[in-house]
Amino acid sequence: MSRSFTLIELLVVIGIIGTLSALTLPNFMSARQRARDAQRKNDLKQIQKALELYKLDQTPPTYIPEDGGNTFPNTGSGWTSGMVTYMNKVPGDPASPYYYLPDNTTLTYFLAACLENSADPVGQACPAGFACNSGTCYIVNEP
């Protein structure tokens, strides 16, 4: 008497494995989105720290101007010559730029990054003029 699986048993096992993988794949994809969003949040906090250090060393206190646009380069290239002391390389996001809007009259600014996970609890609606696919942004204001 030979011991082997019948075709029905094999199909049942394949069906169970397929069902389990179909249930876990979306969770895996959202975990990757959350990880990328966490990196974006961390990048903005690092940029914020560099901006604050820059402002403290300026007389009178001032922030770096927008320099012809309100986005950082996606390549992570150097920022401006005055900022190299505080942040040698600006972090970049290949999916979308980081937004920066300073106001040197009130010494305020905000930084924003587009989030992939639109259900993020700290996400906010993106301001007008920001091109975000999800419509959700992480916004950092001056401390």
pLDDT at 30: 81
Q: Residue 116: CB partners within 8 Å, gap ≥ 6?
A: 33, 36, 37, 95, 134
- Convert the pLDDT of each residue in 86-102 to its tens digit: 887 777 787 788 888 88
The phi, psi pair for 112, rounded to 5°, reads: -145, 145
Mean pLDDT for all residues in the chain: 81
The residue written with tokens 């009259």 in the block is: 105
For the stretch 34-91, pLDDT in tens is: 899 999 999 999 888 988 888 888 888 887 766 555 666 544 444 555 667 788 777 7
CA dihedral (9, 12, 18, 19) positive or negative: negative
Count of helix runs (H) and strand runs (E) in the chain: 1, 4
> What are the backbone dihedrals phi and psi of residue 84, each rounded to the nearest 5 degrees, phi first?
-60, -35
Q: What is the pTM of this model?
A: 0.73
